[in-house]
Each structure stands twice: as C-alpha cells, then as structure tokens.
Amino acid sequence: MSEKLPAESEIRPTVTIPSMLRQAGLRPTRQRLALGRLLFGSGDRHVTAEQLHAEVSSLGEHVSLATVYNTLHQFKKAGLVRELAIEGSKAYFDTNTSNHNHFLLESNGELMDIPGDAIRVDGLPQPPDGMKITHVDVVVRLAREEGR
C-alpha cells in the first residue's frame, strides 16, 4: 500500500499549501502542491532534490527530477526554503528559513539544526565596497567517537 501526501489540515493549521504558494507569488500547480505538501507537511526538513524526487515518486506522483530542481529553486527565490551548499556540488534545501546553523553527520550526510543563538561569529571582515554581508552559514561536522 503506498503512502499518501499529508492532508491540508495536517500541514499548518492556519495556512494551506495553495494559499502559502499564492502569498509567495507562485501559482499552485499540481507539482508545486505535491512537493509543497512533502516539504512543509511534517515540520522543518533538510532535503536534496534527489531525496524529494524519490519521495514524490514513491507516492505515485509523476514529477521529473528537473521539475523538482526548478520548483525548489522557485521556492528558494520566493523565500519558502533556504539552499545550503554542502561539499561542493551537494545542495540541501531547508524549510526553516530562520537564521540558524547546522550539524552535518559525516557518515550519512544528515543535517540537523543548531539554534540560531548557539554559535556566535565575531571578527567578520569588512566586505568589499558596494557589498554587504547577508548571513553567515556555519556547518559543524560530526563523526561518531570510536567504540560507539
């Protein structure tokens, strides 16, 4: 038996996916609705496009990987998700858009949130003329201690 997408009432009681998309200036297409329900249906998440594509495919939804990438980038541009570039070409999309940092479990690539006030960054350099610092991403890498 295949799993189903979360019901609208299970997502965010006061905001439906269609209204969230419209408020962000995005048309609620079938693909955006399906991906939005997966992304925003069960709390904050960190996903790659490939992970999200596998999830939506396992539910019987026909959405190409290119559409998943395009939709994630549209969600990013609309401020619904944050993109985190980890290890060069690997990008994660974070549904928690607040200012916070991350732990990265090196063994499996899993990201976990660090509360926004848990790390303080001092001594940032002056940006070049005409530029401003918008945010600083800190990724703390974790490995299991030997014998555990």
Report if residue 61 sits inside a domain.
yes
Nearest CA-CA partner of 80 in 13, 6, 14, 19:
19
For the chain, count helices (H), then strands (E): 5, 6
Residue 19 within a domain: yes
Structural domain includes residue 14:
yes
Question: Is residue 53 assigned to a domain?
Answer: yes
In-domain check, residue 122: no
Burial of 18 per CB tally in 10 Å (0-12, 13-18, 19+): middle
pTM of the model: 0.80
Range of the domain at 26: 8-91
pLDDT digit string (tens) for the chain, length 148 residues? 445 555 444 444 456 899 999 999 999 999 999 999 999 988 899 999 999 999 999 999 999 999 999 999 999 999 999 999 887 778 999 999 988 999 999 888 889 999 878 888 888 999 999 999 988 888 999 998 887 7
Structural domains counted in the chain = 1
Between CA 118 and CA 120 the distance in angstroms is 7
Q: Is 70 part of any domain?
A: yes
Q: What is the CATH number of the domain that holds 20?
A: 1.10.10.10
In Å, what is the CA distance from 134 to each residue of 87, 93, 99, 131? 21, 18, 11, 9
